[in-house]
A = this chain, B = another copy of it.
Amino acid sequence: MMDIKTYMNDVGQCARKASRAMAKADTSAKNKALTLIAAAIRRDADALRAANRKDLDAARANGLAEAMVDRLTLSDKAIATMAEGLEQIASLPDPIGEISNMKYRPTGIQVGQMRVPLGVIGIIYEARPNVTVDAAGLCIKSGNATILRGGSEAINCNQALAQLVKEGLSGAGLPSDAVQIVETTDRAAVGELITMPQYVDVIVPRGGKGLIERLMKESKVPMIKHLDGICHVYIDDKADIEKALKVSFNAKCHRYGTCNTMETLLVARSIAPQVLPKLAELYGTKDVELRADDEARAILSGYQHLTTATEEDWRTEYLAAILAVKIVADVGEAIEHINTYSSQHTDAIITEDYTRAMRFLREVDSASVMVNASTRFADGFEYGLGAEIGISNDKLHARGPVGLEGLTSLKYVVFGHGEVRE
């Protein structure tokens, strides 16, 4: 194989060229490609499983952790879900070419905006074959070309999937280079991918905080990314206790490993003696460790899994059956704490007080801010985006769950009749 720099440069050039064709592709061609890929995946399920077995054998031989092997495994259900996911993307409205807000100006020109693709999307992800198909599908529908760099442990399965994607693209008359898989497992390829702004318009890293921090340091291409999810629920003293219990339990215990899981619970001082013992009963059923500040510990004394919170806990994403608990004076102190320690992912208030709810919504500087709902709802599907390429904690471009629209941009269009500037 030629050297990595030359190889990635070629991949980039092909992607840029394919992106021009994808940008002008019509809706029916893009949808046809998606349904053809779905059909090919169902047709070749056996071959995909065989490729996946090669990856799994190599992974076990290399002593990969069992959790990683789990994520790498392509079950029958996973194959069916991939195909259905593509058909779902096909059924979404095409965002590209949409013209909005055309308004006449006093000069006679008419000005508005047209939604267009970003161009080339680089996606860097771990050894999860389903991401290959999801990401390819979203990029095709949004008229972008994409370069996919999956975890090296999934290389056989990813290459098999890439073949089916290319078959679908060609079958719909679209350039097969619109979706390219990086064919080398050499890590230098990632270094090239994130430093080719001439070919790549945006990088979407999907992986752990370590990976993303590393990429951030070196990338010359803008990223749509979130580092971590330190999410809060604040139980106000005007909260409906039933809602507070239900939401606080769900936000922590529905799933521990997700980025929209609550990691810190804030409770208003005057309602804490009422609400904390009841919550402890619920969390006790799941053996959740409560890392509480002094005031909360006094109320929770006797709880089986009670420990002491330190400053470090306010900054920690546990991704486990652990919850930091802190007593605050009021909604003002809750907002102050959240704006200091939150990762700006998702934060919720539980209250029946209108003014406090509105204040919390306005002043908490996070991608998703909620009243009386579980932080677990922060998700592209739950928000009705139909799909999700990732979540952004940044403020520029896209914020919160990112669907098809996040892979697009708006350009200005002007309809004139020979007007000139006086």
- Which residues of A does B touch, CB under 8 Å? 20, 23-24, 97, 103, 105, 107, 109, 111, 114, 116, 118-119, 201-202, 222, 240, 242-243, 246-247, 249-251, 254, 339, 348, 361-363, 365-374, 376-378, 382-384, 394-397, 399-401, 409-421
Contacts and interface: CB of A to CB of B under 8 A. Distances in A.
A123 to B, nearest CB: 16
Q: Do most interface residues of chain A lie in helix, strand or loop, or is the interface mixed?
A: mixed
Contacts of A418: 240, 242-243, 246-247, 372-373
Contacts of A103: 384
A369, A377, A378 interface centre (most CB from chain B within 10 Å): A377
A204 B20 CA distance: 29
A371 B416 contact: yes
A254 B419 CA distance: 13
A373 B249 CA distance: 60
A77 B240 CA distance: 60
A114 B368 CA distance: 10
A365 B105 contact: no
8 contacts: A24-B362, A103-B384, A114-B361, A116-B365, A371-B416, A374-B420, A378-B412, A396-B396
B202 A396 contact: yes
A367 B421 contact: no
Contact of A420 (B376, B378, B420): B376
A414 B111 contact: no
Which 7 residue pairs of A and B lie closest in terms of their CB atoms, listed nearest first?
A373-B416, A243-B418, A250-B420, A376-B421, A370-B414, A372-B416, A395-B409
Given A418-B243, A419-B374, A411 B399 contact: yes
Contacts of A372: 415-419
A338 to B, nearest CB: 12
B111 A366 contact: no
A107 B399 contact: no
A392 to B, nearest CB: 10
A411 B105 contact: no
